[in-house]
Amino acid sequence: MRISIVVPHLGDDVAFEESLVSVLENRPANSEVCVVHDGTYADPFELADEVRFVTADSSDLPTLMATGAAAAAGQVVHFIGNGVRATYDWTATAVERFASDDVAIVAPLAISDASGKVAAAGWCDSRRDVSAPVASGFAGSRPDSAGQTRLGRRQLASVRGVYLTASFWRREALLDAIRGFPTDDWVAAEFAWSRLLTAAGWRCEIADESVVLGELTSLTPPSGFRRGCTLRGLSNRIDQRSALTGLMGTVLAGLSPLRLFSGGGFSETLGQLASLVCPGAAVRGSLSDQIGGPQSYEPEDQRRTIPLSTDSSYPRAYASPSHRRAA
């Protein structure tokens, strides 16, 4: 199964180049490496012979991911960036998970370089907490150290989604999620794309032998009012929770000591409460309930790669195949 490794350029050249160099140093066989940027990256190291450069219409992460997924040649698309670093053979066990026909999303194990502990292995979603990192603080082991980090069954079973800057996706399923919820909001895309697919019957798994190095701050935007408003609003909408149920979940989350004594966490709780009264713009956007599940996926029916250029528009590039033919 071929893999396309996509490194998005988010504006920070140092963080971007850390990710790209680590990918090239550990590049697996039968893979392509794509850099997606908004036209401002000048390729100072002249890597055009090793890397495929793709230009997007914007520099926000969801648009870079959508553009990269559309251009990718592999059946599996892996996004790594924002300072997250690859390690030796880090894609192997993650790609193996896609041998199961109902797996659409795989989370690697992100280990903190500073503490040596697990930063996150994807995220979980419950009434008590929305998008909480799985196994955060768990004793980790780098690939060059003795032993191997093994998560427990409960941790493995709790994962509901992935952090976009360290994520593996079945390409066709990801394109369906992008069409079902087009957005330029990082937080909204991170939550909704995973949850729309799992709600449609796809599975998200953790590959705990697939190790990347990175801090939680490299994986997701920081906690805050806007993030809380977006996450709780989308969670209630996707799961069709009532206002009362949403309020109870937010109150339970707010009672967590971690939130009460964390400035960003407390602000996020306030944002969750506010979402019950006034959902944010990202929550009010288009949200399809027609995402195809595993039973509708035909591996031999590969949709064609969309030709991309600097003048390609987001709605046209990611329309359904029938709409593209009509256009």
Residue 111 lies in a domain: yes
Contact (Cβ atoms closer than 8 angstroms) between residue 170 and residue 78: no
CB contact at 8 A, 195 and 125: yes
Tell which of 175, 196, 220 closes a domain: 220
CATH code for the domain of 196: 3.90.550.10
Tokens of 139: 């004793």
- Per the structure, the complete domain to which residue 59 belongs is given by 1-220
Residues 74 and 35 reside in one and the same domain: yes
CB contact at 8 A, 149 and 208: yes
Residue 307 lies in a domain: no
* 169 and 262 together in one domain: no
Domain count, the chain: 2
Dihedral angle over CA of 181, 235, 184, 135, nearest 10? -120
Biggest alpha carbon–alpha carbon distance for the chain: 57
Alpha-carbon span 207 to 228, nearest angstrom: 28
Per-residue model confidence (pLDDT) at position 279: 63
CB atoms within 10 A of CB 198: 20
Tell me the Ramachandran region of residue 131: left when phi exceeds 0, alpha when psi lies from -120 to 50, beta otherwise: left
Judged by DSSP in three states, 103 sits in strand
17: in domain: yes
274 within domain boundaries: yes
- Say if residue 99 is in the same domain as residue 57: yes
Predicted pLDDT at 195: 94
* Residue 313 falls inside a structural domain: no
Alpha-carbon distance values, 317 to 192, 195, 271, 307, 310 (Å): 20, 23, 33, 8, 12
Query: For residue 49, which amino acid is it?
Result: D
Q: Could you list the pLDDT tens digit for every one of the 327 residues in the chain?
A: 789 999 999 999 999 999 999 999 999 998 999 999 999 988 888 888 999 999 999 999 999 999 999 999 999 999 999 999 999 999 999 999 999 999 999 999 999 988 889 999 999 987 667 888 999 998 866 665 545 678 889 999 999 999 999 999 999 999 999 999 999 999 999 999 999 999 999 999 999 999 999 999 999 998 888 888 888 888 888 887 555 555 555 555 544 544 544 445 677 777 777 766 666 666 766 677 778 899 876 654 443 333 333 333 333 333 333 333 333
Same domain, residue pair 272 and 202: no
58 & 19 share domain: yes
73 burial via Cβ count (<10 Å: 0-12, 13-18, 19+): middle
- The pLDDT score that the predictor gives to residue 89 is 95
Residues 216 and 228 in one domain: no
pTM: 0.84
Q: Are residues 226 and 198 in the same domain?
A: no
The token pair at 152 is 């427990």
On whether both 66 and 97 belong to a single domain, the answer is yes
User: Are 144 and 268 members of one domain?
Assistant: no
Q: Is 305 within the bounds of a domain?
A: no
Strands (DSSP E) found in the chain? 3-8, 31-37, 52-55, 76-80, 103-111, 118-120, 123-124, 132-133, 166-170, 203-213
How far, in Å, are 141, 202, 229 from residue 134 at the CA level?
16, 19, 21
In this structure, the answer to whether residues 166 and 238 fall within a common structural domain is no
Say what the pLDDT of residue 171 is. Answer: 97
Contact 119, 200 (CB under 8 A): no
Q: Is residue 303 part of a domain?
A: no
Residue 75, in any domain of the structure: yes
The pLDDT, as a whole number, for residue 198 is 95
